[in-house]
Chains A and B, each alone.
Chain A
Amino acid sequence: MKKKFLLSLMACFVIGSSLTLAACGDNGNKVNSYEGFTTAINTYLEDETLFKEGTTIGNIWTEFYFDNFTYKNSYGNQIEGDANYILLNAYGMNYIQEYYVLLNTLDEGNYNFEALNNSLSRLNESFEEVKMESKNVLNAVSNVNLDIYNGFFANYKDKARVFINSVYDTAIELSDFLIDQANICDGLGSDSQTSEQIEFYMDTQILYIFDDIRNLLLESGEGQEFIGNELYDGAVAELSYYASTSTKNIMMSVSPEVMGDVIELTNLLAGEREFTNKALENFSLYDYVELYTGSIEDYMQDDVNAETYYTQLQKYFSNSDSYLEKYHTYIEVEIYE
């Protein structure tokens, strides 16, 4: 009886301690987070191996253009690698660079920076790895053996894919933090809305769209180029379009009422995104092209829902009237006019 009582007491103590420790976990603070991001961005820019000097891609100017991102063809000429990698990385890094500074303007409050800080840590780790691979490619340029050089490029591309995934993880953590904890969009769609809020909101929506395309190309497609595949080509076309268009600029002076309509539509797009993500979790573009040679019937032999997932992805990314296309067309036509 005494033994049982002591055991129960000890169990309560252990559970209570665990809960207390969890509650007292380090949530970080705005100064450390801001400084963490500042250090990271400066480190990335000061490093001369991974990124080129400021470059323009479509309408996007960036200081985060992958350098040495080239393979060699059979003639020994250096050919730039997958442009989608470069564009996705540029937009994501630009977003982080532009909006992390808002951490320094936060009001005093009870914020939880843990997820944001953790994502930055992972990004920093990934940076170190991809930086090494960029250096290896640079060092191998003079190597006449194509296989050796292209082998280094393959490693670089692989680490770049991981880095880009980390970039978007961090960028979305940052957007979630600013929206959910810093309430940066409060007042949007009302008379008190500001142009800064509109700009942040639209930049964030485009970030989410880029992340959708990243998910398709780099996760479901495993970072391979499937030129000629309708889904791949459609998604790449949308990526290029959003990079070259001025969808955001159209929104900059809209009335609160119109902003409200756009927010409503954007929320529906976000809902659609959830179903698209479900399709992406279950459908491998890589397997569809490589394993099932583009036959949805063959894919359905292994997954009876393959056609459903593929149809959803086509509706979202690549149909001639895909949801992504409809979204920017709505803003450019219905809002602009």
Chain B
Amino acid sequence: MAKAKTNKDYKASSSKKLLSIVAILVLIAIIAVVIVLCIPANTYSAVERLKQFSQSSFLESPSEQREYSQVEEKIAASTLDYYITEIDDIRVLCDGINDILDYYDEFLALATDNDILSDNYKTIKNNLEDAMEYQQSLNSYMEEILGLSNNADSHLRNLWIDFRVTFTDYLSGMTSVIDALNNCYQGCFEVNLANNLASTIILNTVDDYLTVITADFKDIVETDEKNTTSRDYNYITHGKITLLNDFVEAYIVDDGNIVEYNFTDSLKTSYQEINSFFELYNQENFISLIESINSNGEITLTFQQEDADGVYDAVKDFISAR
């Protein structure tokens, strides 16, 4: 004969049910947290970070620009005035970087959420976060510089060297961000009038310029150290920064070549000619052209091979924004 359930049995059953409910709720909470943590990057997150940064990137704000100008004046009035070209070029370079970020900012909100965005999101996110920290350090160095007395050139030099080291890290990070944004641009706007051979070549050239300029700054960081003399300082990047700025003005700020490409046969012809350079002389030689830019903004590399089609000259003109 079956034993009737006692009160004790029913209580045990209720406890079991309560435990089950709690366990399910905990499981749901865990799953929700895992989903949130592992959620793939979406366009909105990338856009939000880029927009937040591009509105306050280094030397974007008038107050930072004023402070930087004061730093420049202080150094110009010291025995360290040989740094002035570099200091001025950093301002020009930051302007160019901000224009490039603005260009990508115009598109990113419309990008297709796909694997390419996910793959590049981490690079964008992490480097922008680092850039904001570097920017705080750069501002601190500027404050320290401005706080120095007029006869503290040795200390001033050391601070400028520290500033340069941090700026080079900032520049390296921004180069990575811009490269990742380029990947998103080319990969997240598959069929689009503004994603074409012209935009590919132009944006890849910007990446190449920034890579070369970043390498130059790393060289200066290694050679112009605190225990060296001014004779070890060899700043060779002025021409490259000037040409990059011209290039950005000509092809990014004025994006006519990109917008018109699909509607203008002559543009198609000229960019196909530039593109043929990579098939004839490869990417390394293209970068070598940029590396060979001297302080006067002239491309000094000459090719030994015969260039019957004039592709080399066409590419030189393109890089020089002529």
Contact = CB atoms under 8 A, between A and B. Distances in A.
Interface string B168-187: 00000000000000000000
Interface in B208-258: none
B263 A275 contact: no
Contacts of A323: 193
B110 A308 contact: yes
CB-based closest 4 A-B pairs: A271-B191, A305-B109, A308-B109, A275-B110
Interface string B90-124: 00000000000000011111100000000000000
Nearest to A323: B193
Contacts of B284: none
B192 interface: yes
Given A268-B262, A329-B263, A330-B263, A311 B106 contact: yes
A271 B190 contact: yes
Interface of B: 47-48, 51, 105-110, 189-194, 259-260, 262-263, 265
Interface string A172-216: 000000000000000000000000000000000000000000000
Given A279-B110, A308-B109, A271 B263 contact: no
A323 B109 CA distance: 19
Contacts of A312: 106, 110
A272 B259 CA distance: 12
Contacts of B192: 268, 271-272, 275
Given A304-B51, A326-B263, A272 B193 contact: yes
B191 A267 contact: yes
A321 to B, nearest CB: 7
A122 interface: no
Given A271-B193, A321-B260, 16 more contacts: A265-B262, A265-B263, A271-B189, A271-B191, A272-B194, A275-B189, A278-B110, A304-B47, A305-B51, A308-B107, A309-B109, A311-B106, A312-B106, A312-B110, A323-B193, A334-B263
Interface in A259-304: 265, 267-272, 274-275, 278-279, 304
Nearest to A333: B263
Residue in A270, A272, A315, A323 whose Cβ sees the most chain B Cβ within 10 Å = A272
A312 B106 CA distance: 8
A334 B260 CA distance: 13
Contacts of A269: 193
Nearest to B190: A271
A304 B51 CA distance: 8
A142 to B, nearest CB: 52
Contacts of A315: 259
Residue in B108, B189, B190, B194 whose Cβ sees the most chain A Cβ within 10 Å = B194
A165 B111 CA distance: 27
A168 B138 CA distance: 57
Nearest to B110: A275
Nearest to A270: B191
Contacts of A270: 191
Residue in B106, B189, B190, B262 whose Cβ sees the most chain A Cβ within 10 Å = B262
24 contacts: A265-B262, A267-B191, A268-B191, A268-B192, A269-B193, A270-B191, A271-B190, A271-B192, A272-B193, A275-B110, A275-B189, A275-B192, A279-B110, A304-B47, A304-B48, A308-B106, A308-B107, A308-B109, A308-B110, A309-B110, A312-B106, A315-B259, A327-B263, A334-B263
A334 B265 contact: yes
A66 B322 CA distance: 56
Interface string A114-150: 0000000000000000000000000000000000000
